[in-house]
Structure formats: C-alpha cells, structure tokens
Amino acid sequence: MNTRYLKIFSILVTIALIFVARLAYLQLFTDRYALNAANTSIKTEYVIPQRGVIFDRNGKIMVGNQPAYEISFTQALMKPDFDTLAFCSLMKITKQDFINRINVIKKEKYYSKLTPMTFIKDLSREDIARVQEIIFKYPAFNIVSRPQRQYEVSTSGNLLGYTSEVNERDIKKDSTYYLPGDFIGKTGVEKSYEKELRGVKGVKYIQKDIRLRNIGSYKNGALDKDVITGKDITLTIDYDLQRTAEEMLVNKHGAIVALDPNNGEVLVSATGPDIDPNLFTGPNKSKNLYALSKDTLYENKPTFDRALQAGYPPGSTFKLLTALAAMQMGVMDEKTIFPCGGGFFYKGKRIKGHGGADPLIPSIQVSSNCFFTYAFIAIIKKYPGNPSKGVDEWKKIMSSFGVGEFLNNDFAVGARGRIPSGDFYERRFKAIMKASGSQRTDFKNWDEMSTGAIYNGMGQGDVLVTPIQLANYVAAIANRGWYYTPHIVKAIDGKPNPDPRFKVKHKTLVDPKHFEPVLKGMEAVVLRGTARGLKSNDFTQLAKTGTAQVPQGKDNSIFVLIAPAEKPKIVVVAVMEHAGFGATWAGPACTVIAEKYITGDLKRENLYKKMITSSFMPEYKRQWIADLKRKGLYVDPKPDSIKQKRIKDSLELVKQEKAKLQKKIEEAKKNNTAKKTVKQ
Amino acid sequence: MKWTEGIDKLGLGLYFLLCIFAIANIYSVDQKLGEKQLVFFCISLVVGLVIFVGRSKFFENMAGIIYIGGVLLLIGLFPFGKEILGQKNWYKFGSFTMQPVEFAKIGTALMLANYVSSPDFNLKNKKSLWTALAIIGIPAAVVLAIPDVGSMLVFIAFFIALYREGLSGLLFGIGFIFAGVFLISLAVPPVYFAVAVLVIAGVLIAMNYHRMSWDVISISGIAGSVLLLCGLAFGSPYILEKLPKHQRERIEVLYKGEKAFRDTSGYNLLYSKTAIGSGGLWGKGYREGSVTQGKFVPEQETDYIFCTVGEEWGFLGSAILILCYMVYIGRIYYLAEKQKSTFNRVFGYCFASILLMHFSINLGMVMGLFPTVGIPLPYFSYGGSSLLAFSMMTFIFFKLNYSDKNSLV
C-alpha cells in the first residue's frame, strides 16, 4: 500500500481531533460564551410586584401604592436618524438636559449598551398619557412602570419608614434578589418587614433577535416565574391614638408610647418632631430626605426616633423599679422607713425634695427623693465592702425588666439605654481617685457618694431609658412581673404575626407579691399625690410622675400611666424634653391617650387643647443659642436693613403727620382765640 | 452477483445522513430556507440517479469539455456575473442564482484525473508537471481574480491528489512552514521567534551531524533557509500591513481577541463562538438555540451552519458530526486508493481532498482557528449550487466506484 495514502489519512484524523478538542474547549471548559449568549440573546424582564399595604390595627390604610412611571433608555436601540429635538419637546426637556442625562447614564457603574437604564424618573400619569402614543417612534426609549408608595396618613414618617433605590451595600447583602434600580425599605416598618412587604419579582425570559426585537418567550416560558405581590401588614398601632399623640407632640421634643400590657402590642409610638411621610414620595424625594437628615436646628433632628432611640434619664418614674429591686434583694420591705424626717442628709450631701419619715406607699405618692436614695444606698450596701456585687445584682433585676438592653423586637431602630454595672463605678472611682492624686489602690470598695451612684435610685444618675423601654417596664409592673416584648406588627396577610419572639412571656426577677405596694403607691399618686390633677371620672389610673434634671436646661417632663387600675388595658408613657414638671406636661398627654383608648372619646378636652397649643420651641431655641455661644459659634443676626429703613420711614412719617396735625391744632386754636377776641 | 453489490453503502449512507441532518439544521435557522434546501436535495438526487444509470466512461471521455466549460463559466463571470455580498461570483437567471466555481471544481478534478491517467504522464517529466499545474492553475487564477480567496484555497486540494501520485512533499512542507511562520510571528515578537528558529536549526544539525556533508551548498542552504525564516518573521507584520483592511482584521482577530474588532470581523467570530460555546454538553435542543433563533450570527444558514449544530446539539452532537465527516472523507480516500483505474483513483483523491479542504477551512473559521474565509461546509451549508455540485461529485465517484467493483479487469 502507498505510504502517502497513510500520511494523508493521518492528517485527516489529526484535523478531526483538533476540531473535537477545540469544540470541547468552547463548549465544556469555558463559560465565557455561554454567558455571552445568555446576556445578549435572552432578555430577562422583571415584573416589579406591588409592595404590601400597611394597615393600622383597625384596618385603616396607612401606606398604599400608586402607579409611577419612568422612561428607560437602551443605547443599542438608538437609531442614527433619531430626532433629538422632537424627542426633547415630547419629554419637555431641553437638548442640553437630554445630552446631560445620556452622559450621566453612560458613566453609571452598571451601564451596558444592551441594558435599559433609567432616563427620567417619577413621571406623572398625565406625562405618560401624553408620551404613550408617540414613544414607539423612539425604540431606544421605553415606559417602565414601577409602583411607588402612597401615604394615606400625613404623620408617623419615622415609624412607617421609606423605600428607596438599593445601594451597593444592599445588593451585596442579598445579591440573589436585588438589582440596580430596585427599591428597598430603608427605615421603619418598611425596613424591618422588607422581606414580607417586597413580594417576589416576576421573571420573564424573552428571546431577542439581533435587533433586540422580542421573538417569543424562551423555552416556552418554562423558566419564567410569576410575580408575587407583597404581603399586607397590619400594625399594632391604633392610628387614631397615634395621631392624637402626635398632635400633642407638636412643637415639642419628646415621645409618647402606649402598649397593651396584655400582649406587648404597641398602640402608639409617637416622636416629636414628626415627619410627614409624603415627603418620601414624588420628584423632590431625595431633596426632602437630605433636608430631613440635615435638620439639626434647635436639636430638632426629625429623623431621630425619640420613642425608640433616645435614652433619657427616667427621673422619678424609675423609683418604682428601685423599690421593686430593693424589696426583691431583701434590703427593705413595704414597711421600711428611712431617716427622711426633714429631708435627705447623707455624708454631708443634701437633696431637696418632699418627704418625711414615711413607708413605701406614701413615699411613692409624694415621690420622695430621700426614700428612694436611701433604698438605693441599701442596694449598694447589701454586701458590705463589695458595692459592685450589690449593683450587679440590681442590674440583673433591671435587665429582667428589659432596661439597659436592646428589646430585640421588630422595630428598625432601637437603643440599649444604660444601666451601670459595678465595674462601671469601679472604673469611675479609679479615675476620680487618680484625678485627685489619691494613693488609694483598692477600688473594689468604691464610694457611692463621689461616684454619684446614689442618684440612680431616683432615676437621675447614670441610668438612661428609652421611652419604649419605659413603657415596657411599666407594663411589666402592671402585669405584676411579666411582659411580652413590645412589637409593632399584629398580622401579616391577615394571619397573626408568626414571630416566636413575641410569644414568649418574659418573667421578671421580682416576686409578684412585691408589686402590690408599688401599684398601691401608683394609685395614691393619682388619688392624692403628684398627679391628682389628672383624675378622671370615667376610669381608674395608676401613675407616676417624673421630672428629670438635665444639664442643658429646663427639666424633662416624664409620666407613666396604667389604666384601668383593676384590669390594665393600656400603659402610656410620655417624655417631653425641657418642659418642666412631669404632671404638668407629660401627664396630661398620657391621660388623654388612655381616656381616648378606654372610653373611645375625648372628654377632658381642656387637657388636649392645652397640649396641642403649647410649644417648647422658645426653650429649645434659647438652649441652642446658649450652646452656640458656649462654643463661640454664635453670631448675632444682622438687622434687616430694609425692614429697619421701613420702620424708620414709617416713624418719620408718623412724626411728620403728628407735626402737621399739631400745626393744624395750633392754627385752629389761634383762630379760635382770634374769633373769641373778635367776639369779645 | 446482485446489482446492488458494488454500491458503497457506508459512503452513500453517510451522504444521506449528512444531507438530511443539514436540512434539519437549516430548517431550524429559517424554515423557508430549510424547505428550499429539501427541494435542492431532491434535484440533486434526480441528477445523481441520472449519473448512476449513465455510462461511467462518459466522465473520462468528456473531462476536457466539462473542464473547458467550467473555466469559460468562470471567465464569463467578469462580464455577466452578479455581485452578492461583495463577491462577483454568481450568475443570476431570474430568481435562480448559480455559483459556477462549485462546478469548475468538478471539471478540474475530472480533467486532472484524465491527464494523470493518460499513458505518457510522468511527474518526473517537467512537461507533465507543468501541464498538471496549468490544469489546476488556470481556474485557480481566474477564481483569485474574481476575487474569491476561499475558493482559491480549495484548489490546494488538487495538490494533495498530485502528492499521492508522486509530487514531492517538500512543496507542502515549505508551504506549511511559511504559513505557520507568518501566523506565529504575528503573535510572538519576531526576536523570540528568530531565537527559536536558530535553536531548532542547531538541534536539527546536531542530531543529523554524522549524516551531513559539509560542502558549500548544504551550508549555504541551511544558512539561507534560517535567514529566510527569520526574515519572514520580521517581515510578516509589514506583509500584514499591506493586506486589505478586512483581510488583515480577519487574521488579527485570531490572536488579538474578538473584543478588539467588536463591530467588524470580531462580531461574527464572537457570535459563532458564542452559539457553539453556549451549547454545552447536550445542547439546547432542536430549534431551542437562543443565539440561532435570535439570528445573532450573520450567514448562519450558509457558512456558519455549524454554529447551529454546536448550539442546539451540544458537544455530543457536533463531535459526532465531525467524526461522521472524518469517516466519510476517510472512506472516500480508502475507496479511491482501492480503485483499479488511475482515472478513478485520481478523481477520488481530488474529491476527498476538496471535501477535506472545505471541511477544515470552514470549521476552522467557525471555531476561530483559521481566518474568516467564506466557503461552505460540504452538504451542510444552505445553497443549491454547492449542494448540487457536491452531490454530482459524490455520485460520479460512487458511480466510478460501482463500475470499478463490477469490472472484471
């Protein structure tokens, strides 16, 4: 046989093997081309689901949806004969604006010739109606519908929260779901219930041809996914009450929180100043958000949810917990009398306040500073020579009331507050000793006086509590020793909130028997004590006033209330910054809320009127200016020259007129005397 | 002896298989064209039947006339040709178009076989060699003048047949080395390349040291070829510069990547690779290829038909197709080798080599191994002229094979 025949044959086999190897590389060992095919020949279209509706507990819609439109732009579909001027006049933009927008799009991180990019956002229905008929002439531009939030209420912006386009961090967190341009809940309920509210995007795979025309669904839609609308959420909030609370917080810094102590449902979570959630929609959205975040004038800070985030000294309302802890720790009982005849004198320190040598109940009634300071000293001194041990035992009891810890609930924000530990005072004592040049090395047996620990008993020292924590511990007192974690969502899609965290009955470390005298004391507060002005003929109340001294200025007004006394249905707490006495400002707000909730009516309208018409803004302004002056930043406002001139001019005019009038009178007088003389 | 005994069942079976699979794939790209191809296939079968029942000596006798006719048809393109896709290589009669170059290949193959089988042919004889080269060169030159580089390259096939008949292999060796050096030196800096040439030359000399005679001729020969290779290595970028832009890009895209020429030559290559590469092991399924259905690959029904196979039938389908071609072409070489008559053998070699050239260049181009050159995949690409011409060659060969089997000589 001819050997050349074999050579030719082997070349044939070699070529075939090379091709098979190349084929294997292209099809099996690299996914570059598979990805390119998926990116260009199959277009993934997403159907954006409607976000779930947010209702209040009575079924009132608080947040719904409205259609919103945007125009998208796909570079690859741009035709060379595109009539820019006609398009600009259709969209009512200038040519320069058009060019700028296209340039911005091309610089975007995710820009690609084939991806539709947002060209104009937030078009109104009228705009769309105008554009709809004509836009087919411009295949590179498309109308995209993206439902937007519509707020049916004009308050509670912090509570409800807002949605906004995802940023890179959001996408990284859940990269399987979010795509650039998607919306995500950024604050409030929108954030904490994002997964339930957002629903599931629908996906359609559409085959595209080389001109990017649709040529049918890919694999006959076998891979497509249906859109699932977001779940509706029913809040525990009673918007009627919430709204009343918000009205009473107008022109005030502070918070009102109301709970149902029987199940931990938050009925009211109001913060002042409040935000109108309608600022979160519409074309000025980002401007509004920026303005809100930068509003620090007079310490307004509207985005700071004071009900959840602000740690306040609880003042005298904390005496309730001091009493409970002291009884539980066995350092006092309800009959204990501390040496308070004529006020508090201790290690050379005097604390002013009411009081006499009384047992617990009357001491709560009059809010005796002396009694509870002694009670706390007893706590500190439970283990002689080891104050830290006593304080830590107290801290543990406080924690069982949810104070000094995150509540671990379904609010988007929260704060820990502060309950100091024994270690805290050891460190402080060490610092004080060092500063004073003392040679002392034993810091274990710290001094309760110089460290300021004694003030904790009356809620002043180093204790900080957020309003929601305050409401929670009052609820635990109302329940005589247990509470459900306060939460804001009652039902999801009509079914009770399945979150197991809200089904656990948290027991406090205080024996139920110790609550009786405390509750009796709270009853006395309303009947004969510091809050006797807030008595109601329609329902019984248990309360405690608080007036916390704060360094910046006037005292914070604090009030806690349980009603009705026999079978508590509601717990209301209020904190008003720099307002003054607890019973004067926070008290009326609480009792109005309780009345409205229990009787369904507003009977003592004078209290409500007083609340909504009062403003503490002048005090905040004074503090703001004082603070600026302290920092040396204050500049006296320049007198308004135009106004000044106007005033000057009008004064001049008055002078001139007066002079004229004077002249006339004098002339008249002269004439008169002249006539008289003539007559005579 | 039954009359069917001389029919090569494997060869013709593969022919039918390829044609029918091709129609199915063209149908997937474009239903209308698939149906039209089916009609072309039927016409081809009728022509094939005529060839089969005709006299086998007809082609040997008429080779000269068919050859001259083919060349005249090619020359006729200059005054009467129709320009389609930038190449003036079509005749148009009403709605019917025809590509004469496909038929010219048959004529050339027949003529070459006829000449080689003549009793006074001897490749050692310069006259014989030059005559054979002229038979190949005349149509090849006309095709180059059209210009149709792809079809011109196919004429290399005839040298494979001549090689079988005794043409020196050196010609191929030199050709391959030059083409290889040209392409490699575009991608590799010429200095490295020159060093490599020197090292290889050194190794080769060292290995054959005892066999070499150190006379002036061999030393100057070695030095000359080394210099020539290095010169080519340094010169190839300049040669590339001189090529027309679209041809230059088709070469550059192979080593610079598709991205560099995204809007021109790179696009075709990127999308033909995308179609094939996205097929995976099993393929996307018949008529389910998203790249094919989206018509992302231009000319997919003709030169790029293999993309459809790659995408919709996956690695398994396309590898089997490649193996089918290999077996088919190999079968023809095998049968050709066994022919008793020289005419049959040379024609068979020409035929198999034409198939091999088409197959290699087309698949090499589609998979990005060879510069883009527009020639069809035999039996597979859409087109009446191509299918008819290849079918005619097929039936002529199998007719010759049939009568060869049945002859008593």
- Residue A219 has what pLDDT? 76
User: CB neighbours (10 Å) of residue A573?
Assistant: 34
Q: What does the mean pLDDT of chain A come to?
A: 89
β-strand partners of A649: none
From chain A, pick out residues whose CB is under 8 angstroms from the CB of B326: 12-13, 16
CB A196 within 8 A of CB A231: yes
* Phi, psi for residue A481 in degrees, rounded to 5: 115, 10
Q: Please state, in angstroms and rounded to a whole number, the distance separating the CA atoms of residues A638 and A232.
A: 53
Tens of pLDDT along B299-340?
Answer: 889 999 999 999 999 999 999 999 999 999 999 999 999 999
| A476 confidence band (pLDDT: 50, 70, 90) | very high
* Phi, psi for residue A623 in degrees, rounded to 5: -65, -40
Distance of CA B283 to the CA centre of its chain: 27
Tens of pLDDT along A441-454?
Answer: 788 889 888 898 99
- Residue B245 has what pLDDT? 80
Q: Please state, in angstroms and rounded to a whole number, the distance separating the CA atoms of residues B259 and B11.
A: 42
Q: Is the pLDDT of residue B366 over 90?
A: yes
Tens of pLDDT along A145-176?
Answer: 778 899 999 999 999 999 988 888 888 888 78
Mutate to test the interface with B, among A13, A14, A23 (most CBs of B within 10 A): A23
Q: Please state, in angstroms and rounded to a whole number, the distance separating the CA atoms of residues B400 and A309.
A: 97
- Residue A344 has what pLDDT? 75
**Quick one: which of A192, A180, A206 has its CA closest to A110?**
A180
Token couple for A251? 């022109």
Backbone region of residue A427 per phi and psi (left: phi > 0; alpha: psi in -120 to 50; beta: other values): alpha
- Residue B408 has what pLDDT? 66
Min mean pLDDT across A364-373, A513-522, B170-179, B330-339 is at B170-179
Mutate to test the interface with B, among A6, A7, A8 (most CBs of B within 10 A): A8
Tens of pLDDT along B367-381?
Answer: 988 888 889 999 999
- Longest Cα–Cα distance in chain B: 70
Q: What is the mean pLDDT of residues B328-356?
A: 94
Chain B nearest CA to A100, separation (Å): 26
Mutate to test the interface with B, among A1, A3, A14, A41 (most CBs of B within 10 A): A41
From chain B, pick out residues whose CB is under 8 angstroms from the CB of A76: none
Q: Are strands A54-55 and A61-66 parallel, antiparallel or unpaired?
A: antiparallel
Has this prediction a pTM greater than 0.80? no
- Residue B409 has what pLDDT? 58
Establish if B281 touches chain A: CB-CB under 8 angstroms.
yes
| B229 confidence band (pLDDT: 50, 70, 90) | confident
Mutate to test the interface with A, among B267, B288, B290, B306 (most CBs of A within 10 A): B290
Q: What is the mean pLDDT of residues B264-286?
A: 88
Establish if B272 touches chain A: CB-CB under 8 angstroms.
no
Q: Please state, in angstroms and rounded to a whole number, the distance separating the CA atoms of residues B194 and B179.
A: 16
Distance of CA A134 to the CA centre of its chain: 45
CB A309 within 8 A of CB A462: no
Residue contact A208–B294, C-beta within 8 A: yes
| A109 confidence band (pLDDT: 50, 70, 90) | confident
| A355 confidence band (pLDDT: 50, 70, 90) | low
From chain A, pick out residues whose CB is under 8 angstroms from the CB of B322: 16, 19-20, 23
Tens of pLDDT along A51-69?
Answer: 999 999 999 999 999 888 8
Residue contact B367–A209, C-beta within 8 A: no
Residue contact A27–B310, C-beta within 8 A: yes
- Residue A403 has what pLDDT? 94
Establish if A37 touches chain B: CB-CB under 8 angstroms.
yes
Residue contact A210–B273, C-beta within 8 A: no
Determine the residue type at A190.
E
Please tell me which of the candidates B164, B296, B315 has its beta carbon nearest to residue A5. B164
Q: Is the pLDDT of residue A178 over 90?
A: no
CA closest to B331 among chain A residues:
A9
Please tell me which of the candidates B274, B311, B315 has its beta carbon nearest to residue A24. B315
Please tell me which of the candidates A30, A36, A209 has its beta carbon nearest to residue B294. A209
Chain B nearest CA to A3, separation (Å): 9
Tens of pLDDT along A393-410?
Answer: 999 999 999 999 999 899
**Cβ-Cβ contacts under 8 Å for A528 (sequence gap 6 or more):** A365
pLDDT greater at residue A277 or residue B147: A277
**Cβ-Cβ contacts under 8 Å for A186 (sequence gap 6 or more):** A161, A162, A163, A164
Q: Is the pLDDT of residue A211 over 90?
A: no
Residue contact B275–A37, C-beta within 8 A: yes
Chain B nearest CA to A135, separation (Å): 25
Chain A nearest CA to B171, separation (Å): 14
Tens of pLDDT along A621-657?
Answer: 998 888 888 888 888 777 777 888 888 888 999 999 9
Residue contact B281–A28, C-beta within 8 A: yes
Min mean pLDDT across A33-42, A81-90, B134-143, B153-162 is at A33-42
Q: Is the pLDDT of residue A577 over 60?
A: yes
| A1 confidence band (pLDDT: 50, 70, 90) | low
Q: Is the pLDDT of residue A390 over 90?
A: yes
Listed in order, strand segments (DSSP E) in A146-272 are 148-151, 163-165, 183-185, 202-208, 214-217, 233-235, 254-260, 265-272
Residue contact A34–B277, C-beta within 8 A: yes
CA closest to A7 among chain B residues:
B164
Chain B nearest CA to A103, separation (Å): 22
Min mean pLDDT across A5-9, A457-461, B220-224, B338-342 is at B220-224
| A144 confidence band (pLDDT: 50, 70, 90) | confident
- Residue B337 has what pLDDT? 92
- Residue A314 has what pLDDT? 95
Determine the residue type at A221.
G
- Residue B172 has what pLDDT? 81
Q: With pLDDT > 90 as the criterion, what percentage of chain A qualifies? A: 55
pLDDT greater at residue A573 or residue A49: A573
